Chain A
Amino acid sequence: MPIKVLIPTPLRSYAGKQAVVEVAAQTVGEALSHLVAQFPDLRKHLFSEDGKLRSFVNVYLNDEDIRYLNKDATPVKETDTISIVPSVAGGR
């Protein structure tokens, strides 16, 4: 079942300039795998060399951070939206 993945501004050039990509998946992990399979240039911007999500990349299933759900194994359904949200922080 296709679900939507929202692509943030800085990553759209690696996803065919699309703000929303649909992928077929049963879990969040599967959705992200299919996403980077479809757009290989996205991989290094989302994942470190050990295959884990980069620390500043937040992934939400609807309004929930997947870190507080079941991470990659979080199941998804057709009406769900996965959002990729790079962090914003800093200071003097």
Chain B
Amino acid sequence: MALRISRNLLDELRQHGEDTYPHECCGILVGDFDETGGKSVKAVAACGNTRTDSPQNRYHINPVELLRAQREALLSGHDIVGFYHSHPDHPAHWSATDLAEAHWTHCSYVITSVEKGRAVLTHAFLLQGQEEDKHFEDEAIEVSA
């Protein structure tokens, strides 16, 4: 199982992290699930971060943006397959807060470390389990040209 994404789309979400530095960026990944549990990303939808009270270390996507993305994905025959956000000057790994606030099981949570304004590492994590025992599993990112 892997998250497949084109170089262009990966660069797009990484660039978003650079653009919002030193604040966290966030967005939605739209694409398709395949039969093996992998996913392919067809589009990246940058979102606003509503956590204007603490944007340097918190993010929240307005549910209205999620709603519209879900609706549009459905109309176009795709799906919401995951989300992305950045960690300014912090590792590209999920935190306790990331896990506590994650509720879209089977979806990918992609995190980019942005150090001194430059995107460094991007890692993906698959949310598994149910709310009471949810956990992240490392997920490979396959980048296509």
Interface residues of A (CB under 8 A from B): 6, 8-10, 19-20, 45, 54, 56, 58, 60, 63, 65, 83, 85-92
Contact = CB atoms under 8 A, between A and B. Distances in A.
A8 B80 contact: yes
Interface in B82-108: 83, 85, 87-88, 90, 94-95, 97-107
Chain A interface mostly: mixed
A9 B107 contact: yes
A90 B95 contact: yes
Chain B interface mostly: mixed
Interface of B: 24, 26, 28, 51, 54, 57-61, 63-64, 66-67, 70-71, 74, 79-81, 83, 85, 87-88, 90, 94-95, 97-107, 109, 130-131
B64 A63 contact: yes
Contacts of A87: 60-61, 63, 101, 103
